[in-house]
Amino acid sequence: MIEISSGQLNQRLDNFLFKTLDSIPRTRIYRIIRKGEVRVNKKRCKPEYKLQIGDLVRIPPLHFDTEKRESLQPSKRLLAELGDAIIYENEHILVLNKPAGLAVHSGSGIDYGVIDAMRLLRAGEDIELVHRLDRDTSGCLLFARHRQSLLALQSMLQDKSMRKNYCAVVKGSWPQDLNEIRLPLEKIILPNGERRMRVDDAGKPAHSRVQLLQGGSKFSIIKVELITGRTHQIRVHCQAQGHEIAGDDKYGDAEFNRSMRQLKIKRLMLHAASLELPHSDYTREMVIDAPLPNQFKKLMPNL
């Protein structure tokens, strides 16, 4: 039995268990929640339940093979690479230039994610993700180093005082006057169980602000500011305009992707280029830039 204190106030039940049971796979944690083996105040709760001060959380006896757990951890080499990829930190926050191809969370078929690696790098700290990036997207990924800064940073995202800017390589000639995309997005599940997003009037509002950086007949390079932060928002908004992102194997154009591979472009060409943070108790007003990957640089000789 664990009694919730002010340090866990409003934390999701699943996130609390991920941290408390860091040697247990996430799939197993969701299973014990679903089966009612985890109880809050003697009652079943859903994973998204927000914990309150004084809540009593019952956690059942669990065991996980320590040797197996160690085999699922990031290598020392990867930890060193991620340590070198930290582009800003103070006592409250940390910003990583996340490599493409590395998932943020562990999950189905993924032994570990960036958050697991960062918790190893900063052992003893209360490291939490502030937002997410797709596995194949590189760039600025923001972490809080304690609960108070996490809540403040999440509030900045909600009130839009924090700005997130992306760079993308897209198919064809992007119209100079296409600066705003407001298309609602809905999550769907395909027959094979894969989750995707699509434009649908019944979906949640989604707003992207776009600036053309470099035009061309074959491909264009754009800057995108996320006004809302829906799953796969930039990828689906670009697809809806007929200007799919290069290297996108989910929403992209297969022929365009093949032509870009001839230029040795073999990744999703979406990069979280910068974070603009307002002044707060935890940061000064600042812009944090993540250097462009080499595959972007060779397509952007004039930028």
pLDDT of residue 73: 72
List all residues 6 or more positions away from 94 whose beta carbon is below 8 Å from its beta carbon: 86, 88, 118, 122, 127, 142, 143, 144, 145
* Tokens, residue 79: 């930890």
Query: Residues 90-136: pLDDT tens digits?
Result: 999 999 999 999 988 766 556 678 988 898 888 888 888 999 999 99
pLDDT of residue 267: 95
CATH architecture of 163-297: 2-Layer Sandwich (3.30)
pLDDT value at 191 more than 60: yes
pLDDT of residue 63: 66
CA–CA distance, 248 with 253 (Å, rounded to integer): 8
pTM of the model: 0.79
- Which CATH topology does 2-65 take? 3.10.290
Mean pLDDT (the chain) is 90
Helix (H) or strand (E) holding 171: strand 163-171
- Assign 3-state DSSP to the chain and report helix, strand, coil percentages, each to 5: 25, 25, 50
CA–CA distance, 64 with 76 (Å, rounded to integer): 22
Stretch 184-197: mean pLDDT: 90
List all residues 6 or more positions away from 303 whose beta carbon is below 8 Å from its beta carbon: 213, 214, 221
**Percentage of residues of the chain with pLDDT beyond 90:** 69
Stretch 1-14: mean pLDDT: 86
* Terminal Cα-to-Cα distance of the chain (whole angstroms): 57
In eight-state DSSP terms, residue 6 is G
Give whole-number Cα distances, 160 to 79, 143, 228, in Å: 32, 17, 8
Give whole-number Cα distances, 202 to 188, 235, 282, in Å: 12, 19, 38
Q: Are 227 and 183 in contact (CB under 8 A)?
A: no
pLDDT of residue 71: 45
Where in the chain are the domains? 2-65, 67-156, 163-297
CA–CA distance, 139 with 54 (Å, rounded to integer): 39
Query: Residues 39-83: pLDDT tens digits?
Result: 999 999 999 999 999 999 999 988 654 444 444 577 888 899 999
Residue with the bigger pLDDT between 240 and 126: it is 240
pLDDT-based confidence at 302, cuts 50/70/90?
Answer: low
Helix (H) or strand (E) holding 292: none
Residue with the bigger pLDDT between 140 and 75: it is 140
Q: State whether CATH 3.40.50.300 applies to domain 67-156.
A: no
pLDDT-based confidence at 281, cuts 50/70/90?
Answer: very high
Indicate which residues carry an active-site annotation: 134
pLDDT value at 273 more than 60: yes
pLDDT value at 303 more than 70: no
Would the CATH topology of 67-156 be identical to that of 163-297? yes
Query: Residues 147-186: pLDDT tens digits?
Result: 899 999 999 999 999 999 999 999 999 999 999 999 999 9
* Tokens, residue 208: 């992207």
Give whole-number Cα distances, 232 to 20, 133, 153, 168, 208, in Å: 30, 9, 21, 13, 12
pLDDT of residue 33: 94
Strands 270-277, 138-144: parallel, antiparallel or unpaired by DSSP? parallel
What is the CB neighbour count within 10 angstroms for residue 120?
17
Closest CA to 171 of 267, 234, 253, 236: 253
